[in-house]
Structure 1
Amino acid sequence: MPLASTDQCQWRCSAEGCGKQWPTRLQFRTRTINPTGCPECWKRRNRAPGPGESLADLNPALARQFRRNLSRPGRGPDTLRPQSHDLCEWECAQGHFWPAKLANRTNGRGCSDCTGHGRSPFECNVAMLVEAASGLSVELDHRLHLPGRRQDRFDLYLPQPLPGLLIDLDPEWTHNRPGSLERDTAKTVAALAAGLDVERIRSRGLPPVPVHGFFHNEAGPGVNPHDWAEAVGTVLRRRGLPWRQLTAAETTAALMKGAHLWERAVAGPATSALDVVPHLEEEFVANLTKPGRAPGRMPPGCNDLCQWRCRKPDCGHEWKAAIASRVLDGRSCPECGHARVGAANSRPGPGESLAETNPSMAEELIEVIDHPGWTALDLFPTSNKACRWRCPAPSCRFEYPAPPSRRTGQSSGCPRCARQRTAAARVRPKPGKSLQDVYPNIAGELLEVTDEPHLTAKDIRPSSTKPCWWSCSKPSCPGRWEATPDQRTRRRGTGKRCPVCHPPRKSPTRT
């Protein structure tokens, strides 16, 4: 099945003592961001621990580095399980503060400032003291591919005398975690099997590496570089290699050299992501893969997953992306990208714009409401963008909103003029139904329609209520009067007739 399959599957937790079965889709288990796991283990990790289940009980050394809980301020090492996903603040033995999830710390993730590309300030100081006291060259973070293993790192390497000496430093603060002894043992066995000359110096109190015939060297407790350099000196003197006591000035110079070496180690790459794309600093929120590591300490091709926030004031969208995709691939805010693609797709090509396909309608355009500055050259004739138009009729000049698609598809224009045309059409008579057709004698007496002098007897209905002026059809009668066509035609014989020829009757006076 492909990793993004939506097939519903049944799963069984592989954690010891759990064995919980649950159904979920494959794509939820295999996605890169927030993959799902056993729901029972998730509940167990985040509920309050029972007796002997807290971080303080199971990993007291890690609990000593705890400073405060950022997710749930009221909970500490006594009320947190080692695999809890609470975001907490930590302080390492070197005095560095950084935020990290408790589960990540339990699984081996350490101080972000003490991971100087396989080095630490402690190792730098010890190396420079050994180099000054022995006169031998010392390499830091020596890497080898041993048979059957991934790349291994050794803290110190002395290439002379041949074939060279590998030295691992095992302070308590990094080698007292669950599984540390097994890993150290496997690494030592593999190096000895490959014929390498290996020495380990372990912090006093840590169990020795259980390898038959392997000499056990101790230093400390603590991470005082003088004590550990003296332990290395003991190893070198036992092998007949040179070693001398340093003066106070030589010790200070060696430690200064170690400090400069550490500064170069944590300074980040020669060319950082910010050197290539400076504006990333404004959009950077957090490094999700290695909390505390900023773009200035990441190379352009780094695959760390980071949280970003768009720097445009009208956007502010947040998203997750690897630093390499932002620097090398040039990807930016996805929301702004969608807006740019939509705007590009809505722009017409040559000969496709409203101005080119319908110039008469384009002349009526005032503005594109949501896109100030756009003209008829930026619109398709079928665009659905809201626009403002002005009626071209000199007697109207009415302004109204409408998208070009509504005007183009239905050939609609000014709504005010349309209403006037509809009202005029509603009062116009049908063929053969006008005043001229039905009452030609009465139509012959019409002089004019009072409010609309341009209308004739063919343009009005017999039932019209428009006031009109009439003239008596008798040659010798000077009668002129005002009446509606409805009054003239409603009841023949009793309609409103010439007041001269047919004066109104007076009611008889009662005595």
Structure 2
Amino acid sequence: MTKKQTIEDMHKLAEVRGGRCLSDKYINSQTKLTWECADGHTWDAVPAKVKFSSWCRVCAGGEKSTIVQMRELAQAKGGKCLSQHYINTGTKLKWLCSKGHVFERAPVAIKSGKWCSKCSIQQRAISARAGIEEMQQLAEARGGRCLSTDYTNAHTELEWECHNGHRWPAKPNSIKNGSWCPTCRLTTEDKCRIIIQELTGQAFIKNKRVIKPYELDGYNETLKLAFEYHGIQHYQFLEHFHKFYGQFLERQERKKEAMCAAIGIRLIAIPYTAAHSDDELIRFTRQHLKLLGVPLVTNKVNLSSFYEGLKPLNKLRELARKHGGECLATSYINNKTPVPWRCKFGHEWNAKPNDITSSQWCGKCAGNQPLTIADMHETARQRNGLCLSNEYINSQTHLLWQCEQGHTWKATASDVRSGRWCKKCSTKRRSEARKDTIEEMHELARQRGGECLTDVYVNSQTHLIWRCGRGHEWPAKPNNIKNGTWCPRCKNRKK
């Protein structure tokens, strides 16, 4: 059995080092005592460290090297560390940045990359100005304008206007990646559709089933013929804005052509340069149909019906965009004639414009249409999983599900569609979150010069065991420690 240490043992330990132990009471090997070296430097340290060769940091050059490190750290950032003494990673030091701003920050914050907050605010303002200027240049290159005056980030929508005066909201990233005015694109695409339909006497409908996952702007099964309208973004790439996006679009279009050719579909690609005038667009389309040997029923095209229906059609498209979806109609008759729609989840249906104007939208999303087992398979696919059942009865009947990790369980369609998924994966994520949190507690204690002695975190209201720099131990809730409380004994001693 190991002999219990005493304060006398600590005095002897210090004498061996040519110094003294100034404390008069020994508690345990992890409770700090006060020591003094032969040169008169005093400090607090746990007996266990002193026993295993740790001694005066000042004599060893430890304190000097630490403050030197802080000065080197500041110098690397173009500034200075104005403090003379280093205590620990959580105790603030005084710093000077290259712009002359003086501020206080803990070493742990500086090491993690933080620096002068004034400079940071100024830099964000400069970045925002540069961001909005870049967006204005990008819009100008497309012949339009960026109407917003403030830039937040690449994912916050700005207001744009094309050369035809159409306005719409879009994220900077989306514009940088080649998208532009949705109204102009749909307008010209529809014009191409009407021209090719009149010349051939056949219907050309949008199709995203023939060459999955790609969509064709128009396809006719009888003629085995498809068309694609290529807007300005397919050709005009400014290296500063697009980088590799142009190459990506090129690869995508080549893949579409190859997939069409493989199944015997002839594809006409109509560039935006052919759409400068109606006559030019008709001439280009007619010429390419003849080159492909497609029989024509007429050589003339009347676009008056297109222009008459354009205004109400644009209103329907704008209405669909407000719902986060699309109006798939290529012509408009009146507000009581159903037209096709698509919601943001890909559900398609026919509805009267009047109904949509009255705030009706996707019946499936609203739960008004009966669900099927195919809907369950799609729900699972969206979560990267599987629905293993083959029959759907109703929303309260259990089905068998499998997540991407291979876990299987039973749950109702109602539960899964409301957002619930694999319990095992959910438990694992919560466990990982707890692990991260206990590490935060340990770091929080270190910043106070102490320790968190607990290894498992439950929640912010469950007590953990803490130890201060003087060796006092006590239980406290993480929330209380986060809010600034610390050792109650040290607090009472100060009073």
Instruction: Name the TM tier (shorter chain).
Output: 0.3 to 0.5
Q: Please identify the structure whose Cα radius of gyration is greater.
A: 1
TM-score normalised by length of structure 1? 0.33
TM-score normalised by length of structure 2? 0.34
